[in-house]
Structure 1
């Protein structure tokens, strides 16, 4: 009996041990269902890091309790006393954004549509405005005795000592004649008839004019009425001497057609229409910049027609094939080609109030100018011109003002430029135009800022490796770069107000972002503050994808992430992932924004696949030539980079060249379609997610930079759009798309679907997601989509 009980106990123990081992194994085994759950199962990384004004605390958003939303947390500057911020403290905090006075003893900021003034020494905050309307863009005047801000489309001035408010501009909608309505010949005729026929009408009109004249004489400081018609006003800036106001008028096109996306799953039970955007090449807003001279009570336009090179036509218009195509289209339907125009940004005034510069961009984005402004005459003098026959962009450059400011001597302006092929820091003298490069080399910098003592620079750069981001310090006039961060990966740094401490968000390729603090010294050790990952996430041994490079067919170095199965097999299957675009990098050494795909690639590798994730032509982090490598031909070098990557997999990593699949979303979906249609012997299967199928149906801001506009460069659109190549499909194709995608519209895949039907293709399928926009949000949708992708690869790439 005793032996029997012992046997039963032993059996129970063995079963329990087996269950425990099985549970542990299940906890470390990946599945699509596990990966695609609500991301809180991973843990929530800290984000939106900023310092308290006194530098004693670091604030950040965090969610260690896996609640529905992140909460605000704080930690002492030494990394101790981490705690959740109470609602009362959160509401009392000043905005982390704002404007400081020169001594940095006061700070202006907007919060909840009102203006506040913070005294940094006492910590007391004064509410400047308290209205239902929104007040925004507060700034100190040059003498720092007043505050300028915008309300209801006009510029106001608040005197700090007295609290007096003065309105500086009087922009009005409509026209002066007709009480805000546009001129009407019939109404004008009736008014003239009344004045001619009736004495009382003439007398009353004369009395009204006299009263207005008297009111103007009694109130000489009243601002000039400026009627906008149907235009809107923005970019209002007061000069340091408070005499000139620069502003910009915006004309919205009347005939622009906005695409509509129908939403089928709604609370009302009815299909509801969503207004989205125009399509590339449609009429765009136009801009005019002006100066209002308060003392002379007059306005005058800032002219861009005389800018250096403003009439230089883009090279593509001189291309023989383009000219022939344009002539053919013009014969069919004549189109008027407008002269080049430009948009002005700024001005940015020097600290001593003596100089002002503006940034101009050609509306075709082929040129960017740094200009000196004389507000008294409106004259613009070119200090620097950047010309790119593709399009102007890059770190610190962007599509607006870009990163720009004044050096301490008030005679030099600093800015970023890709003149050398990589985005670097430059200065130019506003008096003689002499230009100097402060940084150089085959790397890019971003986020430059001057130290408080104006003797040094701080910025982020990928100098060590294109896939690493470190924080650097450099002397004011250039020189040796001192690397302040050390860990391999990426560092997002917020300097403390006294610049003694770095608050760092750091991640590595298989370690999500965490918060660290470090002394602002070379070689200082960073101290980890947060621990965000769940035990379940840490239980799996996540791969460190190897960052490799290979030579493209044209000799360019292409970087990629490589995931390999632990138990390699000869002639195994492989999958190539294509990241999205917009200007993005993914073959790097930090935690990817494509974290679901990263986990899916681990899952694929566990199941015998080799995975390659390529930073193809057009990706960020590698300089101007890579950035613009897709100009006028998307689906050209960006696709050939993937074909070359597939060849490398077969040559170097023992992959069967007949068993290579490809997938990606958005731009990645576009490349997948181009791959399946134009390189059918390279890729056996592909999953195209939320993909552009015809670039003529995408937006203007992104597409016109790369392909120009369809009516002037139709050849570029024909070469670059998958819908023209659908007859080439041989392998198995999966198409997935959200039905309420307001970015790449569902119409894109509907048109392609009809094309595939008409071509008689039967080796494809379409999965639709009724409640999803461009970026999926529902775990059920993610799970369904990736189960289909995995099934596609299993059925077509496994023998």
Structure 2
């Protein structure tokens, strides 16, 4: 009996052991990502408002394919290859005013789709590349670009006419005769009958030509500038265009690739560095009726000559006029007003202004000034990020996004009276804003519930309390059907990758899940942690959000690791599936091994308003790093962590932060892994760096205190650096220069791992595996 009981208990023990979660390993986490499952991506609706399209890979193929599913059933079907290009092209097309037709570009030709009949008309069939079709001439023509010029296809008679004639170079000057030349000309006609006869015939031919009515097209000379962003008015009368003068003297970098198919080292052309000469811009209006051209006049915009506040730190700051970039115009429904979206090239101002199409004068409607840089949801410069969120409520009321309150919100302004009204308010951010076709509602994606959630709302266009439509905790990436009756969205939660859902676009409706492949059986076998988002108080009193991974009490080893997300302006202490999913899985592995892990949304992260976003202005590695060190102190004081056993790791901006921590905060970090790190901001790109640190030659103070290479002498603890050798974003040169600096400083507590075939974002599982095995070994060696 005792023997039987012993065997029975042994069997129970074996069964329990068999049900235990599988052990995580670096090899398992960093294998080809298809092991996790497949999530839908790039969701959009068909023109029928009944079919949902999305990229997906349930067959575990080498790449995603385009799938389709009717909104009222959950049976996605792969689209035919020959249909995919057309579907994607129609998605990017432009509607006419009554939304009965779409003009689109497919393979360099222009098409017109009649939504009532389904008929597709091919407008062009040429070897030239035609693009950017729009409706104009009161919806009677499709206007498109070929080369630099605009052409109009008449929907009634099928005829095509050229609207602009841009020509490189200067306008030839007609030579004027001086007094001597005029006298000699007259003498020749007096003396010689044949010269007199030829002149009379030429004058008669000219008079006849002038008497015959025919179309003429003004030549628009661009000099040494290039044509950009050409837009035509709804009635076809005005063409507003922008000319860009490329910078001269800007030197582009080259990234050598050592492991190539040819067996020879090749150079990859890359980018310029921050502070290199920038292109200049000028905008013009072409009045086709009056056949005149005149500039858009921006010199009188309020504050356009203002110096930045940091100029007071320098006696040599140049007071040159600030350049601007004009985007638009965006026309009011009746075509009465043209709204321009104007950004200063020093990143500190944005103006919304009405352009007088008859004179080129601009009338300021709203000025957004930030002594750091103007940005935020729906506000970023369209040159870099696409059209901003703005439009018209009626023929005299425009709407737009602004961070005037400190958070991104929706505003409206009556352009006749100048009266401005905030339509949304509160200490939260409107992530997206879309005006309904009938202009009765705004559809909003906001984090009003919690900074770590994204929920969908409907709000009257006049303002008022938004009504929540989505309800699940996490994030929703929403696509509205053309008839606006339905929404399809990707949804995810902290430990659940993205799946596709559909529901009616009204409050109180219920979601229905359409895909079920985001988690494979192998992935679901492990109980991924539902990591809580906690808060702690920074040294300056600010509330900081963070994810906190806590090991079981029996496994807790007293050591901690700080993970620092990259990208700077990005959010990771949230309740949806992380962009840093590999790091999320690695943090689960670390927690299984007894480490306490913390993932902080430090100063500069997205989702918390403009003050948080600009907290790193002129000092990267300042308040943002203070937040990370305050997190270390929180772990020591609140979670019982040994202050001598704290590690840190991160990539890109996270790698930069790890370097700054180990160079400037001695003793706080015992071991750090800095991956693909910026080591000297003077060697990074212009758009990102100049907005935060200005330029190296105008604000050297900001660059010196923000660049790790200047602080390398302070290295304490054990440092691992990893970098791809074909990184076209943060160049391998960055880590090489820092390595030389460490050698000259006689530091011996660091090592460098290089990856010969990797760019900024690694793509090869073996590289990911090697890198993270080294990180784990670093922590196990110096923290355990």
TM-score interval for Structure 1 and Structure 2 normalised by the shorter chain: over 0.9
The 1-side partners of 2:746 and 2:203 are apart by 76
| Residues 216, 222 of structure 1: 8 Å contact kept | no
SS of 2:616's partner is coil
Cα 1:208–1:642 shift into 2, 3 Å: farther
- Structure 1 match to 2:314: 323
The 1-side partners of 2:546 and 2:657 are apart by 16
- Structure 1 match to 2:594: 608
Are 1:248 and 2:242 counterparts? Answer: yes
- Structure 2 match to 1:594: 580
Are 1:464 and 2:449 counterparts? Answer: yes
SS of 1:625's partner is helix
Which runs of 5 or more residues in structure 1 are unaligned?
Answer: 1-10, 179-194, 328-335
For 1:523-542, list aligned pairs within 5 A.
523-532=508-517, 533-542=519-528
For 1:474-489, list aligned pairs within 5 A.
474-489=459-474
Shift of the alpha carbon at 1:205?
13
Aligned equivalent of 2:265, options 268, 271, 283: 271
| Residues 557, 594 of structure 2: 8 Å contact kept | no
| Residues 75, 514 of structure 2: 8 Å contact kept | no
- Structure 2 match to 1:54: 48
The 2-side partners of 1:205 and 1:594 are apart by 79
The 1-side partners of 2:206 and 2:780 are apart by 82
Shift of the alpha carbon at 1:302?
1.1
Shift of the alpha carbon at 1:450?
1.6
The 2-side partners of 1:790 and 1:43 are apart by 25
RMSD: 2.7
- Structure 2 match to 1:521: 506
| Residues 390, 401 of structure 2: 8 Å contact kept | no
- Structure 2 match to 1:98: 93
SS of 1:360's partner is strand
Aligned equivalent of 1:428, options 395, 399, 413: 413
| Residues 361, 368 of structure 1: 8 Å contact kept | yes
SS of 1:162's partner is coil
Are 1:367 and 2:349 counterparts? Answer: yes
Shift of the alpha carbon at 1:91?
4.7
Cα 1:781–1:215 shift into 2, 3 Å: farther
Shift of the alpha carbon at 1:797?
0.4
| Residues 557, 595 of structure 2: 8 Å contact kept | no
Aligned equivalent of 1:306, options 278, 287, 300: 300
- Structure 2 match to 1:292: 286
- Structure 2 match to 1:701: 687
Cα 1:177–1:546 shift into 2, 3 Å: same
Deviates more, 1:782-791 or 1:80-89: 80-89
Are 1:564 and 2:558 counterparts? Answer: no
Shift of the alpha carbon at 1:405?
3.8
The 2-side partners of 1:422 and 1:37 are apart by 40
Say how many residue pairs are matched. 754
For 1:58-97, list aligned pairs within 5 A.
58-93=52-87, 95-97=90-92
Shift of the alpha carbon at 1:742?
0.6
SS of 2:299's partner is coil
Cα 1:647–1:165 shift into 2, 3 Å: same
Deviates more, 1:126-135 or 1:638-647: 126-135
Cα 1:753–1:406 shift into 2, 3 Å: closer
The 1-side partners of 2:439 and 2:696 are apart by 48
Deviates more, 1:95-104 or 1:68-77: 95-104
Shift of the alpha carbon at 1:275?
1.4
Shift of the alpha carbon at 1:82?
2.2
For 1:334-345, list aligned pairs within 5 A.
338-345=320-327
The 1-side partners of 2:487 and 2:296 are apart by 43
Deviates more, 1:738-747 or 1:519-528: 519-528
1:270-324, Cα deviation, whole Å (9 max, x unpaired): 1111111111111001000011122232211112111111111111102xxx215
Cα 1:502–1:207 shift into 2, 3 Å: farther
1:400-433, Cα deviation, whole Å (9 max, x unpaired): 2753444342110000000000000000111111
- Structure 1 match to 2:369: 387
Are 1:377 and 2:372 counterparts? Answer: no
Cα 1:477–1:660 shift into 2, 3 Å: same
1:466-507, Cα deviation, whole Å (9 max, x unpaired): 000000000111001101001100011112222222212100
| Residues 279, 696 of structure 1: 8 Å contact kept | yes
Are 1:689 and 2:675 counterparts? Answer: yes
Cα 1:144–1:656 shift into 2, 3 Å: same
| Residues 51, 68 of structure 2: 8 Å contact kept | yes
| Residues 169, 223 of structure 1: 8 Å contact kept | yes
SS of 2:443's partner is strand
Cα 1:238–1:521 shift into 2, 3 Å: closer
Aligned equivalent of 1:111, options 106, 123, 128: 106
- Structure 2 match to 1:281: 275
For 1:659-738, list aligned pairs within 5 A.
659-738=645-724
SS of 1:300's partner is strand
SS of 1:488's partner is coil
TM-score, length-scaled by structure 1: 0.90
SS of 1:791's partner is helix
Shift of the alpha carbon at 1:216?
8.2
The 1-side partners of 2:288 and 2:123 are apart by 25
Shift of the alpha carbon at 1:213?
9.8
Cα 1:62–1:21 shift into 2, 3 Å: farther
Are 1:128 and 2:123 counterparts? Answer: yes
Which runs of 5 or more residues in structure 2 are unaligned?
Answer: 1-6, 174-184, 190-194
The 2-side partners of 1:636 and 1:87 are apart by 51
- Structure 2 match to 1:262: 256
Shift of the alpha carbon at 1:59?
0.9
- Structure 2 match to 1:186: none
Shift of the alpha carbon at 1:88?
3.8
| Residues 228, 242 of structure 2: 8 Å contact kept | yes
The 1-side partners of 2:655 and 2:707 are apart by 12
Cα 1:208–1:176 shift into 2, 3 Å: farther
Cα 1:500–1:758 shift into 2, 3 Å: same
Cα 1:737–1:205 shift into 2, 3 Å: farther
Cα 1:567–1:357 shift into 2, 3 Å: same
1:213-236, Cα deviation, whole Å (9 max, x unpaired): 987886742321122233110111
Shift of the alpha carbon at 1:177?
4.5
Aligned equivalent of 1:33, options 27, 35, 47: 27
Deviates more, 1:759-768 or 1:272-281: 272-281
SS of 1:655's partner is coil
The 2-side partners of 1:211 and 1:23 are apart by 100
The 2-side partners of 1:212 and 1:235 are apart by 37
Aligned equivalent of 1:777, options 763, 766, 781: 763
SS of 1:407's partner is strand
Aligned equivalent of 1:451, options 430, 436, 454: 436
Cα 1:91–1:719 shift into 2, 3 Å: closer
The 1-side partners of 2:628 and 2:248 are apart by 43
The 2-side partners of 1:591 and 1:92 are apart by 31
Shift of the alpha carbon at 1:142?
4.6
TM-score, length-scaled by structure 2: 0.92
- Structure 2 match to 1:222: 216
Are 1:741 and 2:727 counterparts? Answer: yes
- Structure 2 match to 1:508: 493
Cα 1:785–1:89 shift into 2, 3 Å: same
- Structure 1 match to 2:423: 438
The 1-side partners of 2:645 and 2:746 are apart by 25
Are 1:415 and 2:384 counterparts? Answer: no
| Residues 86, 106 of structure 2: 8 Å contact kept | no
SS of 1:658's partner is coil
| Residues 556, 595 of structure 2: 8 Å contact kept | no
Shift of the alpha carbon at 1:680?
2.1
Deviates more, 1:568-577 or 1:597-606: 568-577
SS of 1:629's partner is helix
| Residues 556, 594 of structure 2: 8 Å contact kept | no
| Residues 570, 655 of structure 1: 8 Å contact kept | no
Cα 1:522–1:111 shift into 2, 3 Å: same
